[in-house]
Structure 1
Amino acid sequence: MGSVEKVDLDFDEEVPFSSSTNPGKVHAFQSEKAEKTQVLSSVNLASLSISKQIGIRPIRSIYVVLIKAKINMLLPFGPLAILIHYLTGKHGWVFFFTLLGITPLAERLGFATEQLAYFTGPTVGGLLNATFGNATEMIISIYALKNGMIRVVQQSLLGSILSNMLLVLGCAFFTGGIVHSQKVQVFNKASAVVNSGLLLMAVMGILFPAVLYFTHSEVHFGKSEISLSRFSSCIMLIAYASYLFFQLRSDHNKYSSLEEGGDSDENSDEEEECELTKWEAIGWLAILTAWVSILSGYLVDAIQGASESWNMPVAFISVILLPIVGNAAEHASAIMFAMKDKLDITLGVAIGSSTQISMFVIPFCVVVGWCMGKPMDLNFQLFETATLFITVLVVAFMLQDGTSNYFKGLMLILCYLIVAASFFVHVDPKTTKNSGGE
């Protein structure tokens, strides 16, 4: 009997021991299952986030390009101008609304170019800025060339140079001088001198065909002038390509040291500014360029009708009103950088854009006209050539000391008002050479 009790006691002691081991195994299996479920849930969440990003990315790109900027409020005026063109045919309103519709597109082209420059590097970025920075002017000029409106091409490109050098730079100096009235604003004088030299070279290229024409000293009347213009345009394109190489490669440290210093202080801002991927920027450049091309056709067709309905000279519309479209982005950015005391970037925007137009866009249009069989030349007539020459001299004297203040900006703005008034009372001479065909 005692042995049986002992066995019973031993059995009773083994039972709790065995029961305590089984729950431990169960908990181990449960923990393994929990870990597996957590891993699976994290994988599922990651896949869902990736799929959401793939689905949301185009919507975000559309928001960044077409909605985010306040200037995009003017985008609906483009389709409205097309509707007015086909419904009423009133060229004055078509021209006005097309101007409003192209203005945000010019700014968005600059934005997409800047986004693409983050992925291409400084060298290719400089070429992109040279190509798309003045894409609006180039597209309008090509459409005007197709219609044989050579004087509109010459005067609109001249007006872009005058607007950048006098109005844009003047407003930047004026606002920057008022905001920073307690100190003298300075900029890189060496870069300004190089740009002034290129502008004087452009004046020389434009001056000689005009002098050749007005002195009646051509070997072959009507042909030597065009031949000289085409040869000078090729030389100017080579000079501008050399300038890009000099600025971006050979003397890169000298001309970018100040900009790099400003950029290093705001690395976080630059990272935030990169809002588009490489292919999104390329796609938006193609879409915006196509839309600008469509609106430019309606704009060029409405110039003559707008001149008659508004009782304004075509020269005033071409030199004063048309450049407002292409220079809207430059105007805003130049003033913004001047208020932040970054005059080197301001000069790069205003004077750099004038250099691009005079040394790249104008010779490029001459070469395109050559390919089209249009007599596009560098003879901008005596009045326009003299205006450009005096403007370049005035701006070169303003930049020679490497400082700026609000009084210099005010003088540049007043000079632009004199130029605008001059073209308002200027009657463009009727010449068979520039009427549209040979």
Structure 2
Amino acid sequence: MTSPVDTDESAPLLPNGSGTVPASAHRTFTDVLKGRGEPTWSSSLRFYLLSSWVNVLLIFVPLSAAAHFAQWDAGIRFALSFIAIVPLAKLLGEATDQLSIQLGQTLGGLLNASFGNAVEIIVAVDALMQGQLRIVQTSLLGSILSNLLLVLGMSFFAHQFSGKLEGTFGATAAQTSTSLMTLSCLTLVIPAAYHAAEYNGEAKFSSGLRFLEAEPDAPDPHDGSLHGLLIISRGTAILLLLTYLAYLWFQFRTHKTLFEEVKTQEGQEERAKMSMVSAGTCLIAVTIITSFCADFLVASIEETAEKYHIPKPFIGVVLLPLVSNAAEHVTSVWMAMKNKMELVIAISIGSSIQIATFVIPLLVIIGWAVGQPLSLFFADFETIILFVSVLLVNLLIQDGKSNYMEGLMLMVLYVVIALAFWVS
């Protein structure tokens, strides 16, 4: 017969009187790599690599590297790198989503702020380090326009296939987000207005796109307004970063009830299909691979544009965002077809806010640190386009409803803008 002492030593009592050792008391190294109840590494990787047919395009990743180092034709190098980034963008989005599901609302929001636009950041940082400041500006502007007009427009249009004539979403939360977008848009108007006021007309360009065409990769160091533009841009960048942090606090802490419907829908719809460690590891690995593909892509842009007579602004504003936002395009349209319009607003407008108030200011600060004179001064043409785009989106979502006609209007404006950049 087992003595009471033996029983106490072999099965220590829990506070509730149970003689069973809790599972969490003996966590092995394997448990650390894969939390209890989480998917295994094999199932996580199987889901990550086989969940979408788009991953077939991963074959273009080594092909783009081979083309780059073998110095193939610029057009071929550009095309291979362009296609290679498509599945990488999808994988980045998938890993981010899986981590967000497990980390909860606040940490998930911070994670999306950091990695949700990873491709845009990687391409822009790589172009910044190479001194191609116009590619930085046009690619980020294109990301904003793509999300605000194309993604949102396609989602509004696709919503009709959900079986409902109108989509509904929280007007207050959406209006707060677009108001922040309006603020970031106005911060681009101020440098343009300052340049117009200070420029004395004696430089080798006149204004707008002629200025950008004459100096495609950097502001003119002989322009008397450059010093003031950099001071305005860097100061504004710091303020925008602080404003973005305040917006995160507003969204996830003080006024989170305004956004609760989005989180509730996400929680009901999704369960993690990857363990946290495997998702984090995949996120880091794919980010590193994407950085190399982005380097190959940026290195081929200038030669491709010159050889095939493709306007560099068109590449930056239209082509690059289509690749980097591929995952967001698919997700937003799919959610619209499921009548989850709150998620559509969070994806399209939320991503635009991240670019405008986090990524662009961050790159201005990085440029300041590495000696690249990146500023918030965009061409007059680009500033006007962004302003009217934000204005149209504000007008369409202020009633908290959407329909296919509003989506059609957004898409038409995007196509008109693409045509304008094609002939610029």
**Structure 2 counterpart SS, 1:380:** coil
1:254 to partner: Cα distance: 2.3
Q: Is the 8 A contact 2:89 2:323 kept in 1?
A: yes
For 1:386-397, list aligned pairs within 5 A: 386-397=384-395
Asked if residue 194 in structure 1 is aligned to residue 176 in structure 2, the reply is: yes
Q: How far apart in 1 are the matches of 2:386 and 2:309?
A: 25
Q: Is the 8 A contact 2:101 2:270 kept in 1?
A: no
Q: Is the 8 A contact 1:236 1:359 kept in 2?
A: yes
**Larger C-alpha radius of gyration, 1 or 2?**
1
Counterpart code for 1:270: E
Q: Is the 8 A contact 1:103 1:328 kept in 2?
A: yes
Asked if residue 409 in structure 1 is aligned to residue 407 in structure 2, the reply is: yes
Q: Is the 8 A contact 2:244 2:357 kept in 1?
A: yes
Counterpart code for 1:241: L
**For residue 106 of structure 2, what is the aligned residue in structure 1?**
123
**Structure 2 counterpart SS, 1:223:** helix
Q: How far apart in 2 are the matches of 1:89 and 1:260?
A: 47
For 1:25-424, list aligned pairs within 5 A: 57-181=40-164, 183-216=165-198, 221-256=225-260, 258-263=261-266, 266=268, 269-271=269-271, 274-424=272-422
Q: Give the aligned CA root-mean-square deviation in angstroms.
A: 2.0
Counterpart code for 1:172: S
TM-score of the aligned structures, taking structure 2 as reference length: 0.83
- Structure 2 segments unaligned to the other structure (5+ residues): 1-29, 201-222
Q: How far apart in 2 are the matches of 1:309 and 1:217?
A: 34
1:192 to partner: Cα distance: 1.1
1:143-175 CA-partner distances (Å, limit 9, x unpaired): 101100001000000000001111111100001
Report % sequence identity: 37
1:205-238 CA-partner distances (Å, limit 9, x unpaired): 1111111112216996321110100000100001
1:178 to partner: Cα distance: 4.1
Q: Is the 8 A contact 2:158 2:337 kept in 1?
A: yes
TM-score of the aligned structures, taking structure 1 as reference length: 0.81
1:263 to partner: Cα distance: 4.5
1:88 to partner: Cα distance: 4.7
Give the helix-richer structure, 1 or 2.
Answer: 1
Q: Is the 8 A contact 2:43 2:274 kept in 1?
A: no
Q: How far apart in 1 are the matches of 2:107 and 2:161?
A: 36
1:308 to partner: Cα distance: 2.0
**Structure 2 counterpart SS, 1:75:** helix
Counterpart code for 2:398: Q
1:261 to partner: Cα distance: 4.4
**Structure 2 counterpart SS, 1:347:** helix
1:61 to partner: Cα distance: 2.9
Q: How far apart in 2 are the matches of 1:142 and 1:89?
A: 24
- Structure 1 segments unaligned to the other structure (5+ residues): 1-49, 427-438
